[in-house]
Amino acid sequence: MILELSSNIKPHELEDLIEQLGQMGYQTSIQKKEENLSLLLNQTPQNVSKDHKLKSLAHVKKINPLKEIAQLKAKGFDLAHNVHLGGQAIQLMAGPCSVESQSQIDEIAYLISKTPTKILRGGAFKPRSSPYSFQGLGEKGLKYLKDAAEKYQLLCVSEVMDSSDLDMMLEHVDILQVGSRNMQNYSLLKKLGQTQKPILLKRGMSATYKELLLSVEYILMGGNQRVILCERGIRTFETYTRNTLDLSAVPILKELSKLPVIVDPSHGVGIRKYVPQMALSALAAGADGLMLEVHTHPEKSYSDSDQTLSIQEFEKLVEQMSPLLEALKRA
């Protein structure tokens, strides 16, 4: 937690405040950003019961709970094998909603590897609204995904739904995806913080930016700083589209967190023919990458067929990105 202090605090008042905090059981360190002074507090289970008193201390202007985020320095990071996210180059993550068979993911991986895409997506544990819908191939699906990715020199990303699957997931994937429905599964987030894998954290379908960033704190607290934020649309009163893709999230989350922000227009709009426009708009908004559902036979997809692009539509979109990226001075 960070206590932002009033600008007119005098040196002896600061000393008094630090002493008072010490008596309450907090270790403090002073932070100075331009003319603004703040105190970084080390919270422990012992002093947590005193947190409610912090607001009333003299010279405390504001309490910022995003302590770990405030201390992040890096703008981007390597995902694996020198694939960098958050720099000048944007990254594409493409593939089917679900891994359906070995030949399906192999063929899609092959076709995707012919484009500038470096990351293959594919769900093996699927969070379906209906328990009667296809639930994913589980471990077998993860193996197919990993084999296909390795064969065509791609990285792979897949969703971890349950922490009991974590060891298996760590073995097979390069990036662990946390789905919308699990953005506030705090025990899962804590466990992910203890790994060193990049975590792709999708925004909950009714989560505010602040709630998303508090979920990030859970991961960072454990020591894992490689977090990717993903805007994938939120629930609004509009029902024509599956979700409302909130592109304001891109510049705002980048500013508030310094973490790479990607956009998933497939789930964001939910209607195939609008996905390319929303993908291009996401790049214009400053996204560091895109996640797109792509299939050789979208209409036959086991899940999310309405929003899945064909390989040809995906290739066309990739072509359309070139002049835009050039104008944006990105690669």
Which part of the chain contacts ligand PEP (CB under 6 A), choosing from 23-31, 64-72, 129-137, 177-185? Answer: 177-185
CB 301, min distance to Mn ion, A: 9
Q: Determine the 3-state secondary structure of 261 from DSSP.
A: strand
d(CA 52, CA 55): 7
Give me the residues paired with residue 170 across strands.
none
Give me the residues paired with residue 263 across strands.
231, 290
Q: For residue 96, state whether it binds ligand PEP (rule: CB under 6 A).
A: no
CB 290, min distance to Mn ion, A: 14
- Residue of 3, 17, 97, 278 that binds Mn ion (CB under 5 A): 97
Neighbours of 108 (CB within 10 A): 26
d(CA 54, CA 41): 11
- Residue of 86, 95, 96, 123 that binds ligand PEP (CB under 6 A): 123
Structure tokens at 237: 């009163």
d(CA 250, CA 33): 24
Q: For ligand PEP, how many residues bind (rule: CB under 6 A)? A: 9
Structure tokens at 253: 């989350």
Q: Which amino acid is present at 243?
A: N
Site string for ligand PEP, 131-170 (x = CB under 6 A): ----------------------------------------
Q: For residue 265, state whether it binds ligand PEP (rule: CB under 6 A).
A: no
Question: Using CB atoms, what's the residue nearest to ligand PEP?
Answer: 179
Q: For residue 295, state whether it binds ligand PEP (rule: CB under 6 A).
A: no
d(CA 99, CA 121): 9
CB 19, min distance to ligand PEP, A: 47
Structure tokens at 186: 């705090």
State how far the alpha carbon of 174 is from the alpha carbons of 79, 82, 286, in Å.
7, 12, 24
- Kindly tell me which of 68 and 159 has the beta carbon lying closer to ligand PEP: 159
Q: For residue 232, state whether it binds ligand PEP (rule: CB under 6 A).
A: yes
d(CA 226, CA 78): 9
Q: For residue 215, state whether it binds ligand PEP (rule: CB under 6 A).
A: no
- Kindly tell me which of 177 and 195 has the beta carbon lying closer to ligand PEP: 177
Q: For residue 304, state whether it binds Mn ion (rule: CB under 5 A).
A: yes
> Which residues make up the interface to Mn ion (CB under 5 A)?
97, 304
> Which residues make up the interface to ligand PEP (CB under 6 A)?
97, 123, 127, 179-181, 202, 232, 267
